[in-house]
Amino acid sequence: MGLFCGFLFHPMRITKFSCILSILYIGLLSSCTPNQSENKNENGNIDSLNSADVFFQLNKQILREPDNATAYYQRAKIYLEKDNINQAYADAGKAVALDSSKMEFLLLLADVSFRGLQVRKSVEVYEKCLRLDPKNLEANLKLAEIYLYIKGYPKSIMYANEAMKIDQKLTKPYFLKGFVYKESGDTAKALSSFETVVDLEPENYDAHIQLGNLYAAMNNKLALQYYGNAISLRPRSTEALYNRGLFLQNIGELNKATGDYNVILKLDPKYADAHYNIGYIALVYKKDYPKAIEQFSEAIRLNKDYVEAYYNRGLAHEFKGEIKEALEDYHKALGIFPTYKLASARIELLSASQKK
């Protein structure tokens, strides 16, 4: 095993839900999208926000009534639904300019601002919402999310706590605080927050994943319980299966780990990381170099820039005595990642040995 420690590229780390941006805004700002139950504007001209002619009707109405704030608001929501952020922002801004007392207008403008990456504007509008209504749950939650996103952790906690005062049974504030503590390195408080989420909402898949990831980082087998819970909630979740497989691999449960990776490949044959980790197990633990080459090759077929797979396939070729093929793979790895020191070191070593 010592032979590998100095130059082997390790198995893929947990990549799913390991950073804030991959999970942060589950349902973020969703309340500002078109509401199917909102059938009419204030003037009663629109029958349904989902009717085929609604956009045309709104355009006509705005031409007739250029100061109708609600019409701009309705059209902004349609633009937002179609991901036309610029037009949604223009219409939401017009609605607010015409009537800044309407909370729904302000919330929509804040939503569109954030989606357009105008974070400062979004914060400004949400804070205006809270000046009008300090107990507005949506504005408090959105500010907690945004400050988490921009790493303003104290304010994220503050707004999450305000949301908790408004609704003590709501899980989202605890979830957000869990991320703040996780990102701040306070594992104990992160665990406590996510555990509160699953206590209040046992079917919260994402909280189980986060608990699994935190316990896995501590090399604690409680990770298996939470990954298992996540898999029970979503049996086809390749994310949960992968994270559990990686944890099993790291604690030496290689057959079980391979079992999870194989299940993933049945669900998603294009899941390159599962092939990579099966190859890693074959290379490092089982010394099954042909199988390692086969699995790394499949990972490369699915991801032509998979530099780690090229490197470890090169090791498998090298240990099998196939020096030419090994050098080719090391050079391919360097072609993708020119400063890849592991590959450079293997090339230098093999080249020196060939000269002797």
Question: What share of the chain has pLDDT > 70, as a percent?
Answer: 85
Per-residue pLDDT tens for 277-327? 999 999 999 999 999 999 999 999 999 999 999 999 999 999 999 999 999
- Res. 39 pLDDT band, cuts 50 70 90: very low
The hierarchical CATH code for the domain 1-17+232-356 is 1.25.40.10
According to the model, what pLDDT value does residue 243 have?
97
Contact criterion met (CB below 8 Å) for 26 and 171: no
Mean pLDDT, the chain, as a whole number?
Answer: 87
Per-residue pLDDT tens for 223-250? 999 999 999 999 999 999 999 999 999 9
In angstroms, the CA 193 to CA 178 distance is 5
DSSP codes, 134-195: TT-HHHHHHHHHHHHHTT-HHHHHHHHHHHHHH-TT-SHHHHHHHHHHHHHT-HHHHHHHHH
According to the model, what pLDDT value does residue 55 have?
83
In angstroms, the CA 144 to CA 153 distance is 9
Residues 118-125: contacts with CB under 8 Å, at least 24 apart: 118/89, 119/146, 119/149, 119/150, 122/146, 123/147, 125/96
Per-residue pLDDT tens for 146-204? 999 999 999 999 999 999 999 988 999 999 999 999 999 999 999 999 999 999 999 99
Segments in the chain forming alpha helices (H):
2-5, 54-64, 69-81, 85-98, 103-115, 119-132, 137-149, 153-166, 172-184, 187-200, 205-217, 222-233, 238-250, 254-267, 272-284, 289-302, 307-319, 323-336, 341-355
pTM: 0.80
According to the model, what pLDDT value does residue 272 have?
97
Question: What share of the chain has pLDDT > 90, as a percent?
Answer: 77
Q: Is the dihedral of CA 335, 339, 343, 347 positive or negative?
A: positive
Domain residue spans of the chain: 1-17+232-356
Whether pLDDT at 41 is above 70: no
Helical packing angle, 187-200 and 172-184, nearest 10°: 160
Which whole number is the average pLDDT over 16-30? Answer: 37
Higher-confidence position of 149 and 21? 149
